[in-house]
Structure 1
Amino acid sequence: MKLSKANRRVFAWPHLLVGVLAASAAASRAESLPSDAVPTVIVDTQSEPVAPGKFEPTWESLRQYDVPEWYRDAKFGIWAHWGPQCQPEAGDWYARHMYSQGRGQYDAHMQRYGHPSEYGFKDVIHDWKADKWDPDRLVGLYKRVGAQYFFAMANHHDNLDMWDSRHQPWNSVAVGPKKDLIAGWAKAARENGLPFGVSAHAAHAWSWYEVAQGADTEGDKAGAPYDGNLTKADGKGTWWEGLDPQDLYAQAHKPSPDFANLNRIHWRWTWNNDVTLPDQAYCEKFYNRTMDLINKHQPELIYFDDTALPLWPVSDAGLKLAAHFYNTNLRKTGGASNGVLFGKVLSDDQKEALTWDVERGVPPTMEFPAWQTCTCLGGWHYDRGVYQQSRYKSAKAVVHMLADIVSKNGNLLLSVPVRGDGSIDEKEEAILESIASWMEVNREAILATRPWKVFGEGPASEGAPIHAQGFNEGKGKPLTAEDIRYTTSKDGATLYAIVMGSPVEPVSLESLGAEAGLLERRVERVELLGSGGAADWEQTAERLVIRTLPAANPSDADPTAPDAVVYKLTLAN
């Protein structure tokens, strides 16, 4: 079924979904930013002009956007959320938390490198060499696992650009690995036939790095300032002589009140609640850097780690970046399709201009237009503790999440943590191989499918409400063999029932009973994917019952292995 834009918001079967749709809509709007805000910082486009075309840098113009069919078909992407914060192998937001006395990453930094007044994050970058990075092997593996697009992180809140950046002297070609990482990832993706995406997170470095202006409050180094206020003149005789640390830390401003309180950053993420606002030069530099990234590497997808668009509503930088990105992709494809640009915590009108990204979570019901979940096998940055304690998501958890997301009209972007040296560990490889084995048999129920009239049924169908960016992973009931998720082929001739476990008794599908009235075509054949033959089944008024069960439960041998099975229902013309 193809829906008009006006009808996408209300497409659902009301007798089943009205309650959860209302809850989902309220949650998704809870912290969105208004599209009619008036930015005060208008960036200069002389250095990096906005490409002319269909899209203008206004929310109204961006609402002409339609999610391209290739992205709706793709369903599954893999992400290398990799940068210098992976070098210490001490987990997420290292470059912020290392400047907070009493925090675990501060202690890890002290043990490995020394005090942040003498050895700051700029020096961690210098320590990062990426000497085992093999993008061709990794992207080839991800394609075999089933990924239909690939993402690489272009910069994080730590503000280092991972390409030969025209506008950021602190980049991976000039320091650290001395390599153009984005160019290497892009080449590997395109040689494997995968659309290439980049994620840009650096809009928040301004406030995120404010802790680098602090100092210890107790101990031998109490009061000794961290390195966040160093300038180019301070570099004489050091390895970074000639570079200005303020190009990295962006701290030549008065910090926000209570900036040393690590949790305040979340309260101020949308540039309010007494945050010190970024100035003209900062907004223009972010704009120019990101334009350079788009022009040099021509990504098909861009992920912004921001509410709505980067620097909104302080600046119009994000609007201009979005218009340029859409116009350049239309020009590249001859007008056949748009690129895909993601934003978080979007209002309903913003979901028509951007593709909604849900971080570490899944909405409780179907959402229109198409959307995406981003999540990770472990932490966003490589964490040796997660590896040692085997706290990665299992292949079973990933497959269950993928099926649930696809049944609700979403895509899954899965980050596989990369070590500082550029490799992934053997536990991650084993998880990926297990996902690949499941996808080899069942990929037709995932790729190039569309949501059916209901996303599923079973005890875990109600789901947990999302909060802010998402963050409801693991908060609902666990998926079991009593839970079903439905997908359908684009022509409607095939329906897939994905059982979220390995059933040991006949599978009962109440949504397919004759009296439910959801099946518009008669079921002609049922088969269990991978079995090679027809299944034994019958339809009654109350349900459709499938008696043919899988021969073995993979979880009997390995509790972490995917145990979802797929029944393919062929429908009459």
Structure 2
Amino acid sequence: MKKGLIFLNLITLFSTTQAQQHAEQDHSKYVPPTDEKVQAKLSQWQDVKFGLLMHWGTYSQWGIVESWSLCPEDEGWCVRRGPHSHDWFEYKKAYENLQTTFNPTRFNPEKWAQAAKSAGMKYVVFTTKHHDGFCMFDTKQTDYKITSSKSPFASNPRSNVTKEILAAFRQQGFMTGTYFSKPDWNVDSYWWPYFPPKDRNSSYDPKKYPELWKKFQDFTYNQIEELMTGYGSVDILWLDGGWVRPYSTIDPNISWQKAIPYEQDIDMARIAKMARRHQPGLLVVDRTVTGEFENYVTPEQQIPDQYMPIPWESCMTMGSSWSYVPKENFKSARQLVHTLVDIVAKGGNLLLNIAPGPDGEWHDEAYTRLAEIGTWMDMNSESIYETRPLAPYRRGKWAYTQKGKSTYATYLAETGESLPGRLKPEGVDLPAGARVKLLGNEKNLAVKDGFIEVPARAIQTAGHQYAYVFRIDS
């Protein structure tokens, strides 16, 4: 993941962001999977709607952005801070030395899994390796890992945290996913020390040094094969670092892709074939690289303007950061519920990020938010799970989904707003004789002249909710 730009003229920022969003939401080249097992898995994933993403690594000790401070680019999200920030080489050495002090002794994945389940989440994606190359699993390809003897947590019986996390969530019935960064800023076959890196890309041209690039391809292949063979059933291989891609796939309309200097083909066909041999039906998500290995698309920190008729997922932060910061600015439960409803109405899934700290725990407020979301989901989840979008999808304060012959009309209430006594769903005509119920209230509501009539007793019983869901059956 990366941070957004911050020090730009607001008008320029708005126009640039809008143009980028439209480019990233143009998925006319989406390639549907042909493998029946992948199709079945994708359908299952589209039914569960709500997942948990976790960014976690040694960077949590400094409370800084994940990996990006290592990147020698003059961007707001790459700013270095601290006593070593004046010299990139010293900084990189100090950063990589965090391995020797990372000791998350409060690590308890069962607690996370229970909290996520209570919130209504049904799948998890965990960062097994981010761009910095530090492995949160017991790889045999490098010693830069949490299970190395250099790491104090290695002596803990649960040191292979990826294995523990996937097992804990799988036990709660979750679909499981492994986030994996294609670029690796620690390994010499990507950032070759002969050429100091100038940016996020490999420090050499792979076409000029094919033997070195082949070494990196094999390193990547071997690490992914470890994840596909030693960690139980895996449903999703979620690949980040979209600049590692065939040069022919670059979209010149997207600024960061236009800056990719050369071919960095990791050979996804070889990787996907191997991964699905071990994990039949595996969803492969080669983010931003449109084609057969992007089984669903992943707009980041944004919700598409409108319904998209392909499989998609918004990955978003519960707070302001992907990685742990000591004082996080968490979004309200109302905002998070509205986000989920909006995304599902437009045909997508929400993958919500929570970042564990250096001790292996979440902020207390993260648990509170999940509990608050769970309270709403306990009453209204039938309008979320296994639904499909229904035109007009979103209109004003209303969002629409359908399941079977039932239509769900969700009224997104403002802060402190009580349920109105008379409502007209925008963009939808209520059929004559329609049976309308407010979820949580078993009595049918009257419909007059296209308006839903809600009696005072029902309003009082409903209380203040983030959103009110009406089930309409004809």
Which TM-score bucket, shorter chain as reference?
0.7 to 0.9
Task: Check if 1:533 corresponds to 2:425.
Answer: no
- The code of the aligned residue for 2:437 comes to E
- Measured in 1, the distance between the counterparts of 2:240 and 2:106 equals 28
- Measured in 1, the distance between the counterparts of 2:52 and 2:344 equals 15
Give the one of 346, 350, 369 matched to 1:412: 350
- Give the equivalent residue in structure 1 for 2:24: 28
- Give the equivalent residue in structure 2 for 1:343: 286
- Measured in 2, the distance between the counterparts of 1:250 and 1:115 equals 13
Give the one of 482, 485, 493 matched to 2:399: 485
- The code of the aligned residue for 2:222 comes to N
- Give the equivalent residue in structure 2 for 1:307: 242
- The code of the aligned residue for 2:284 comes to L
Gapped regions of structure 2 (runs ≥ 5): 1-18, 248-263
Give the one of 149, 164, 183 matched to 1:204: 183
Q: Deviations over 1:531-569 (max 9, x none)?
A: 3322232354xxx444457337866xxxxxx61111111
- Measured in 1, the distance between the counterparts of 2:92 and 2:43 equals 52
- Measured in 2, the distance between the counterparts of 1:127 and 1:98 equals 24
- The code of the aligned residue for 1:288 comes to N
Q: CA deviation at 1:417?
A: 1.5
* Secondary structure, counterpart of 1:486 in structure 2: strand
Give the one of 359, 362, 368 matched to 2:303: 362
5 Å-filtered alignment, 1:82-481, equals: 82-93=56-67, 95-96=69-70, 106-108=80-82, 110=84, 116=90, 120-174=94-148, 175-176=150-151, 177-178=153-154, 179-201=159-181, 203-206=182-185, 246=187, 250-256=191-197, 259=198, 265=200, 279-297=213-231, 298-307=233-242, 310-313=244-247, 314-330=264-280, 338-347=281-290, 350=291, 354-378=295-319, 379-386=321-328, 391-458=329-396
Cα 1:115/1:370, change in 2 over 3 Å:
closer
- Measured in 2, the distance between the counterparts of 1:167 and 1:184 equals 20
- Measured in 2, the distance between the counterparts of 1:253 and 1:34 equals 39
Q: CA deviation at 1:73?
A: 1.0
* Secondary structure, counterpart of 2:427 in structure 1: helix
Q: Deviations over 1:349-376 (max 9, x none)?
A: x278521111111111111222111111
* Secondary structure, counterpart of 1:120 in structure 2: helix
Check whether the contact 1:152–1:198 (CA below 8 A) recurs between aligned residues. Answer: yes
- The code of the aligned residue for 1:419 comes to G
Cα 1:421/1:94, change in 2 over 3 Å:
farther
- Measured in 1, the distance between the counterparts of 2:62 and 2:209 equals 30
* Secondary structure, counterpart of 2:402 in structure 1: strand
- The code of the aligned residue for 1:426 comes to D
Check whether the contact 2:70–2:78 (CA below 8 A) recurs between aligned residues. Answer: no
Cα 1:508/1:68, change in 2 over 3 Å:
same
- The code of the aligned residue for 2:439 comes to L
Q: CA deviation at 1:24?
A: 9.9
* Secondary structure, counterpart of 1:341 in structure 2: strand
Task: Check if 1:565 corresponds to 2:474.
Answer: no
- Measured in 1, the distance between the counterparts of 2:388 and 2:28 equals 30
* Secondary structure, counterpart of 2:297 in structure 1: strand
Q: CA deviation at 1:133?
A: 0.3
Q: Deviations over 1:509-551 (max 9, x none)?
A: 132226xxxx7xx6531111123322232354xxx44445733
- Give the equivalent residue in structure 2 for 1:79: 53
* Secondary structure, counterpart of 1:374 in structure 2: strand
Q: CA deviation at 1:109?
A: 5.2
Check whether the contact 1:80–1:418 (CA below 8 A) recurs between aligned residues. Answer: yes
Q: Deviations over 1:401-456 (max 9, x none)?
A: 11111111111111111111110111111111111111111111101111113212
Check whether the contact 1:98–1:106 (CA below 8 A) recurs between aligned residues. Answer: no
Q: CA deviation at 1:61?
A: 8.0
Give the one of 461, 476, 499 matched to 2:411: 499
Q: CA RMSD in A?
A: 3.7
Cα 1:533/1:171, change in 2 over 3 Å:
same
Cα 1:512/1:110, change in 2 over 3 Å:
same
**Larger Rg over CA atoms:** 1
- Give the equivalent residue in structure 1 for 2:16: none
TM-score by length of 1: 0.65
Cα 1:397/1:102, change in 2 over 3 Å:
closer
- The code of the aligned residue for 2:426 comes to E
- Stretch moving more, 168-177 or 190-199: 168-177
- The code of the aligned residue for 1:425 comes to H
- Measured in 1, the distance between the counterparts of 2:170 and 2:77 equals 41
Task: Check if 1:550 corresponds to 2:459.
Answer: yes
- The code of the aligned residue for 2:246 comes to W
- The code of the aligned residue for 2:224 comes to T
- Measured in 1, the distance between the counterparts of 2:406 and 2:462 equals 25
Check whether the contact 2:421–2:459 (CA below 8 A) recurs between aligned residues. Answer: no
Q: CA deviation at 1:128?
A: 0.6
- Measured in 1, the distance between the counterparts of 2:374 and 2:347 equals 22
Q: CA deviation at 1:191?
A: 1.3
- Measured in 2, the distance between the counterparts of 1:184 and 1:303 equals 18
- Measured in 1, the distance between the counterparts of 2:136 and 2:473 equals 48
Q: Deviations over 1:5-30 (max 9, x none)?
A: xxxxxxxxxxxxxxxxxx99952377
Check whether the contact 2:295–2:311 (CA below 8 A) recurs between aligned residues. Answer: no
* Secondary structure, counterpart of 1:359 in structure 2: coil
Check whether the contact 2:401–2:407 (CA below 8 A) recurs between aligned residues. Answer: yes
Q: CA deviation at 1:124?
A: 1.0
- Give the equivalent residue in structure 1 for 2:15: none
Q: Deviations over 1:481-511 (max 9, x none)?
A: xx1110111x2x1110011114435221132
- The code of the aligned residue for 1:367 comes to M
Check whether the contact 2:99–2:145 (CA below 8 A) recurs between aligned residues. Answer: no
Cα 1:551/1:253, change in 2 over 3 Å:
farther
Task: Check if 1:513 corresponds to 2:448.
Answer: no
Q: CA deviation at 1:382?
A: 0.2
- The code of the aligned residue for 1:486 comes to Y
